Amino acid sequence: MKENYDLKLDHKLLTQWYKKNCRDLPWRKSKDPYRIWLSEVMLQQTTVVAVIPYFEKFLTKFPTVHDLANANEQDVLEAWAGLGYYSRARNLHKAAKALAEGFPQSATELLQLPGFGPYTSRAVASIAFGEKVGVLDGNVIRVLSRKYGLSLEWWNSKERDQLQKISDSLALFGQADMSNQGLMELGATICTPQKVACILCPWSVSCVARETGTVGELPLKKPRRESEVWVWKPMVTIKDNKVALLKNDYAPFLKGQMIFPGEISREKSKPKAYDTKHNITHHDIFIQITRKKALAQKNLQWVPLKDLKKINPSSLLQKVIHKVEVE
């Protein structure tokens, strides 16, 4: 980034724009760190429109961090169902137990808690408590890369740090909460991945990507992780309307969660025959179901079929059970 960029002016223009144009979202109605934290966790990998009903439903069930801390994990997972990435819900629950004793106000302290990464800890600390630290998520990476014309491999820590320093610098001029939310709002509504509305952007006059015609080229695209083909052979045993599960210590997905016992192998190509298919992140899972009348395996837990979604809300298990029940 060139030294002659006026970060102070950039901060002023950004925060002025945000105050006039920010969307009316439920987690922006207060500085409650619990609500802000919950929204940030839910918004990972999910759109604002999709999150709002989940956010409101979750708060109805767990209105305070104390309610969440005292809740049963299965109730938390059930309230989270539909948002995916259930490890986030588990970490949310674990962190709530620590936060019930008091909410740390710095990003450094929050970073020590389960599920609090660099982004979430900085977002909560700056928005809820006004700490002068900048945030860096997908929206912010895109906005800063375009604004300052930076062709950085942002997925590498050294180059990502350059963007983090810019975000931190913008937050230092005061109103870090407005600066950070302004960057995120700009990326979500104006400087989007496919369509840009430069005429509405507070930084349009000084945007390097706009001046050089490189908006469509920035930020650089992260190389896609190659999908892995896995053949999963779950053993499904149903007795007295109960199904046998065990804690997953053998499959690379849904680690530590209750799943069907079975076998799994990574293959070079997809099998010719399979019962159904499922995708979790970069795992392409081809499922070959084995129906068993009895299991001699240890550490099994017999779960009522009606409670399966509570024990593990992943649609993968529902898909397998549905396949078994319709045949």
User: Which pLDDT value is given to residue 299?
Assistant: 84
- Name the band, by pLDDT with cuts 50, 70 and 90, for residue 275: very high
The arithmetic mean of pLDDT across residues 203-216, rounded, is: 95
| 264 sits in which H/E element | strand 262-267
Cα–Cα distance measured from residue 279 to residue 286, given in angstroms and rounded to the nearest whole number: 9
How many angstroms separate the Cα of 324 from the Cα of each of 237, 257, 276? 10, 21, 11
Give pLDDT tens digits for 169-181: 999 998 899 999 9
pLDDT value at position 46? Answer: 84
Band the pLDDT of 1: cuts 50, 70, 90. Answer: very low
Angle of CA points 137, 141, 222, to nearest 5°: 95
- Would you state the pLDDT for residue 288? 95
Domains and CATH numbers, the chain: 7-217 (1.10.340.30), 228-326 (3.90.79.10)
Residue 2 has pLDDT above 50, yes or no: no
> For residue 326, what pLDDT is reported?
65
pLDDT at residue 177, as a whole number:
95
Catalytic residues: 40
pLDDT at 279 over 80: yes
Residues 10-52: pLDDT tens digits?
Answer: 999 999 999 999 999 999 999 999 999 999 999 987 889 999 9
Mean of pLDDT values over 260-269: 94
pLDDT at 230 over 60: yes
- Rg of the Cα trace of the chain? 23
Residue 70: pLDDT band (50, 70, 90) is: very high
Using alpha carbons, select from 263, 192, 36 the residue that is nearest to residue 127: 36
- Nearest CA to 252 out of 289, 288, 300, 285 is that of 285
Average pLDDT, the chain: 92
pLDDT, tens digit (0-9, with 9 covering 90-100), for 128-142: 999 999 999 999 999
Residue 266, SS3 per DSSP: strand
